[in-house]
């Protein structure tokens, strides 16, 4: 199939070349014109047919699984049944957090580059170099960076700080008046349990299992020394930030899409006529005021274009979130920024490669693909609607 | 009646990079008078008017020497707050450049960025400014509609109203009517005549009849130099310099 298309393409190119030569010789402009109109029209039709075929193919293969239940329930039976609700929620959350973080940073950078930075200064050059490099880095590298930096450095440090807070809080609890440790520096497992529950219900209530282990180590009913208990808990503090999660995946994704935002906002800012800036400045507005009240409102459609492109990219990319937060199977929805999440793109990959029953998953896989396309389309469409509304309001057509 | 000197420039030179655009301009502009700058394209008249509110600061590579003294203070002194200065020296541009906002928001822009938020106060300023710019009758029922929906001449008067709303002492007009039809032009000219009672007006114009009609004093610029500066009547009837005579009689330019 691919060969046939390739050969056809070559034939068309060669034909065009010779026809053009021949036609210009005959000077028959009318035929020339007609030929090129039909050629360009044909190319357009070809693309539409291709996209239409693709969509139809996906829809037909997936429609057996598409149902309300498919959209609203988690997967079940070893990924051979159920729905994709957690993946829809996960993808939407990821894209939203990514935009909330990435779009403002990109916009502010673009403002700096256009309005404040001196062209050809070292700072401007290095920012531009960084942006261009970012745009060219393969997305899997972003994933590794997210793992190494956000999780390995930032998250780990946050955990260390959090663990120290926990431990010092625990120490205060152990040393306070009325603590079973107060008289001889020892307490039984039950006493520790009661003490912790009384003081920090929310967190230590979850530690019942650990206290059980602690009690077993020292033997049931035996007193446990304070230092021993502290050491035991310290070693068993769960990492909270230093692990793959929604927030790190979103940050990695924001970084990946930053160049897209910067470039489109920059272009939008540049279209604001110099006249308008001068008018504002001549009225005694500061540069900052001018940016806030004239430049940014005018650039809003462009900023939204950037957001749309970002969303489109973010919803489809899987590589950056591979190591930074996406989960293979997670029936529960993410509860916090530190939760892992499911993702439509990754779910397609999982269905396609990790299935226990290929026949059963095939239709699920295509249905998921269809939902991913539809979701991207809905997000884009919403953004386009908002943009055209704003465009009409500010009367700017960039 | 003898007027006070409002603006005085002393040996003003301006360079765009290595190219000198203004050479040794020394002139006094009188309060509550209309002063017109005339001269062929590229003679430096627009550049000069833009030095009076430091608009040239925005262009990279501009270097200025000499002094521009407004109300006794050198505006190129490093302690001068340019934002405060531009509030006092309003400017109307060649191409009408209303913001893509409503008429009301356009006129209220200046007061707003200068910290006025009181609705009644803003209403009052907007109405008064539009009245002074002789555009109130045409806009009073459409204050909330976009300024871009009005004709070029109306837009230019809205821009004048916007400029008046910050209550400047001086209004600089850089060819304000060059893109307008004759009727709109005559309206702007009438307006200039009315405004000079309250403001000092400096106007750059290509149109010599216009300069003759509306100004009290006229300065003739040629190749970045001030050739002659005198009462308008004298410039147009009995100029001292041969170059001026050639220009006002239409022999070149």
Reported as a single tens digit per residue, the pLDDT across A288-301 is 999 999 999 888 88
- pLDDT top residue among A292 and B42: A292
Query: Tell me, what's the pLDDT at A248?
Result: 93
Q: Inform me whether the pLDDT recorded for A397 exceeds 60.
A: no
Nearest C-alpha in A relative to B145: A393
Q: Are B79 and B132 in contact (CB under 8 A)?
A: no
Least confident span in A355-369, B61-75, B76-90, B220-234: A355-369
Contacts B93 to A, Cβ<8 Å: 275, 278-279, 282
| The three-state (H, E, C) secondary structure of A213-240, written as one string | HHHHHHCCCCCEEHHHHHHHHHHCCCCC
Contact map slice: B 202-241 vs A, CB within 8 A: none
Side-by-side strand order, sheet with B62-70: B73-74, B62-70, B5-16, B19-30, B225-231, B217-222, B34-38, B200-204, B170-174, B89-92
pLDDT digits (tens, 9 = 90+) for B186-203: 888 998 998 888 999 999
- Among candidates A282, A294, A394 on the partner chain, residue whose Cβ is nearest the Cβ of B55: A282
Mind giving me the DSSP string for B217-242? EEEEEETTEEEEEEEHHHHHHS-SSH
Q: Do A294 and B99 touch (CB under 8 A)?
A: yes
pLDDT digits (tens, 9 = 90+) for A315-352: 888 999 999 988 888 888 888 888 889 999 999 998 88
Q: Do A293 and B86 touch (CB under 8 A)?
A: no
| B113 and A CB contact within 8 Å | yes
Contact map slice: B 135-164 vs A, CB within 8 A: 146, 148, 159, 162-163
Question: Which tokens sit at A373?
Answer: 């396309």
ipTM: 0.89
pTM (predicted TM-score): 0.78
CA separation for the pair A315, A99 (Å, rounded):
11
Strand partners, B221: B226
Closest-CA distance of chain A to residue B225, Å: 25
| B53 and A CB contact within 8 Å | yes
B59 Cβ contact list (under 8 Å, min separation 6): B16
pLDDT band at A22 (very low <50, low <70, confident <90, very high): low
Contacts B114 to A, Cβ<8 Å: 284
Q: Which residue has the tokens 């039909």?
A: A38
Count chain A–chain B contacts defined by CB atoms under 8 A.
68
Q: Which residue has the tokens 């309250």?
A: B198
Contacts B58 to A, Cβ<8 Å: 277-278, 281
Sign of CA dihedral A78, A82, A88, A89: negative
φ and ψ of A228, to 5 deg: -65, -45
Distances in Å between the alpha carbon of A267 and those of A115, B38, B165, B231? 12, 38, 32, 49
Where does chain B have alpha helices with state H? 45-51, 82-88, 103-113, 119-132, 136-139, 152-164, 182-195, 208-214, 232-237, 242-248
Q: Inform me whether the pLDDT recorded for A398 exceeds 60.
A: no
Query: Tell me, what's the pLDDT at A329?
Result: 85
- Among candidates B60, B113, B146 on the partner chain, residue whose Cβ is nearest the Cβ of A293: B113
Number of Cβ within a 10 Å radius of residue A387? 18
Q: Inform me whether the pLDDT recorded for B124 exceeds 90.
A: yes
Indicate the SS3 state at residue B94.
Answer: coil
φ and ψ of B10, to 5 deg: -130, 115
Q: Do B87 and A280 touch (CB under 8 A)?
A: no
Using a 10 angstrom Cβ sphere, with 0-12 exposed, 13-18 middle and 19 or more buried, the burial of residue A269 is buried
Q: Do B55 and A285 touch (CB under 8 A)?
A: no
Query: Tell me, what's the pLDDT at A202?
Result: 65
- Among candidates B53, B99, B114 on the partner chain, residue whose Cβ is nearest the Cβ of A282: B53
CA separation for the pair A226, A264 (Å, rounded):
60
Q: Do A281 and B84 touch (CB under 8 A)?
A: no
Q: Which residue has the tokens 């908002």?
A: A386
The string over A68-82, giving b where at least 16 C-beta atoms fall within 10 Å of a residue's C-beta and e elsewhere, is: eebeebbbeeebbbb
Q: Inform me whether the pLDDT recorded for A200 exceeds 70.
A: no
Interface list for chain A against chain B, based on CB atoms closer than 8 Å? 118, 273, 275-286, 289, 293-294, 298, 394-396
Closest-CA distance of chain B to residue A384, Å: 21
Determine how β-strand B62-70 pairs with β-strand B73-74: antiparallel
- Among candidates B84, B95, B113 on the partner chain, residue whose Cβ is nearest the Cβ of A283: B113
Query: What is the tally of helices (H) and strands (E) in chain A?
Result: 19, 4
- Measured in whole angstroms, the distance separating CA A371 from the mean position of its chain's CA atoms is 17
Nearest C-alpha in A relative to B162: A283
Query: Tell me, what's the pLDDT at A20?
Result: 66
CA separation for the pair A111, A268 (Å, rounded):
10
| B176 and A CB contact within 8 Å | no
CA separation for the pair A252, A145 (Å, rounded):
8
Contacts B57 to A, Cβ<8 Å: none
Q: What is the DSSP letter of B2?
A: P
Contacts A118 to B, Cβ<8 Å: 60
CA separation for the pair B253, B207 (Å, rounded):
11
Q: Do B109 and A293 touch (CB under 8 A)?
A: yes
Determine how β-strand A75-76 pairs with β-strand A81-82: antiparallel
Q: Which residue has the tokens 């396609």?
A: A352
State chain A's mean pLDDT as an integer: 84
Residue A19's nearest CA partner among A6, A36, A4 is A36
Closest-CA distance of chain B to residue A239, Å: 50
Q: Long-range contact list for A355-359, CB < 8 A, 24+ apart?
A: A355/A79, A355/A80, A356/A78, A356/A79, A356/A80, A357/A78, A357/A80
Query: Tell me, what's the pLDDT at A396?
Result: 46
């Amino acid at each position: 199939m691919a060969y046939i298309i390739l050969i056809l393409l070559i034939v068309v190119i060669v034909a065009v070349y010779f026809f053009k030569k021949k036609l210009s010789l005959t000077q028959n402009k009318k035929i020339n014109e007609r030929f090129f109109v039909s050629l360009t029209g044909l190319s357009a039709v070809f693309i539409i047919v291709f996209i239409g075929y693709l969509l139809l193919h996906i829809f037909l293969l997936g429609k057996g699984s598409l149902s309300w239940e498919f959209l609203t329930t988690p997967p079940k039976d070893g990924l051979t049944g159920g729905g994709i609700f957690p993946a829809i929620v996960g993808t939407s959350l990821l894209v939203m957090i990514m935009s909330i973080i990435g779009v403002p940073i990109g916009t502010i950078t673009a403002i700096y580059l256009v309005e404040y930075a001196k062209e050809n200064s070292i700072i401007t050059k290095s920012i531009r170099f960084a942006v261009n490099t970012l745009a060219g880095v393969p997305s899997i590298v972003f994933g590794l960076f997210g793992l190494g930096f956000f999780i390995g450095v930032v998250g780990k440090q946050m955990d260390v700080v959090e663990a120290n807070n926990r431990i010092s809080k625990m120490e205060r609890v152990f040393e306070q008046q009325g603590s079973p440790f107060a008289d001889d520096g020892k307490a039984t497992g039950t006493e520790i349990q009661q003490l912790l529950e009384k003081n920090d219900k929310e967190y230590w209530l979850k530690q019942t299992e650990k206290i059980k282990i602690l009690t077993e180590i020292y033997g049931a009913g035996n007193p446990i020394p304070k230092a021993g208990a502290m050491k035991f808990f310290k070693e068993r503090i769960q990492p909270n930030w230093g692990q793959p999660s929604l927030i790190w995946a979103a940050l990695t994704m924001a970084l990946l899409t930053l160049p897209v935002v910067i470039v489109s906002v920059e272009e939008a800012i540049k279209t604001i006529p110099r006249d308008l800036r001068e008018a504002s400045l001549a009225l005694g507005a500061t540069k900052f005021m001018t940016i806030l009240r004239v430049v940014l409102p005018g650039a809003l459609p462009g900023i939204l274009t950037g957001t749309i492109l970002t969303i489109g990219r973010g919803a489809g990319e899987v590589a950056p979130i591979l190591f930074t937060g996406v989960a293979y199977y997670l029936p529960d929805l993410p509860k916090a920024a530190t939760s892992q999440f499911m993702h439509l793109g990754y779910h397609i990959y999982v269905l396609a490669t990790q299935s226990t029953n290929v026949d059963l998953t095939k239709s699920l896989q295509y249905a998921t693909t269809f939902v991913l396309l539809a979701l991207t389309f809905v997000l884009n469409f919403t953004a386009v609607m908002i943009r055209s509304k704003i465009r009409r309001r500010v009367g700017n057509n960039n | 009646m003898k007027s006070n000197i409002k603006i005085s420039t002393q040996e003003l030179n301006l360079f765009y990079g290595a190219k000198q655009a203004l050479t040794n301009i020394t002139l006094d502009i009188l309060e509550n008078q209309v002063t017109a700058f005339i001269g062929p394209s590229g003679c430096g008249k627009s550049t000069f008017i833009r030095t009076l509110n430091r608009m040239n600061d925005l262009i990279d590579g501009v270097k200025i020497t000499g002094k521009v003294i407004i109300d006794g203070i050198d505006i190129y002194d490093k302690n001068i707050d340019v934002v405060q200065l531009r509030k006092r020296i309003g400017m109307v541009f060649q191409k009408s450049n209303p913001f893509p906002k409503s008429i009301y928001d356009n006129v209220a822009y200046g007061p707003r960025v200068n910290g006025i938020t009181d609705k009644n106060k803003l209403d009052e300023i907007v109405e008064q400014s539009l009245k002074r710019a002789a555009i109130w009758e045409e806009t009073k029922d459409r204050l909330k509609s976009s300024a871009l929906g009005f004709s070029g001449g109306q837009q230019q008067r809205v821009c004048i109203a916007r400029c008046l709303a910050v209550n400047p002492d001086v209004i600089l007009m850089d060819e304000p009517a060059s893109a307008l039809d004759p009727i709109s032009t005559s309206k702007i000219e009438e307006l200039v005549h009315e405004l000079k009672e309250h403001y000092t007006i400096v106007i750059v114009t290509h149109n010599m009849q216009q300069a003759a009609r509306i100004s009290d004093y006229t300065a003739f610029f040629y190749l970045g130099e001030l050739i002659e500066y005198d009462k308008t009547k004298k410039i147009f009837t009995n100029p001292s310099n041969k170059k001026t005579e050639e220009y006002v009689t239409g022999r070149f330019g």
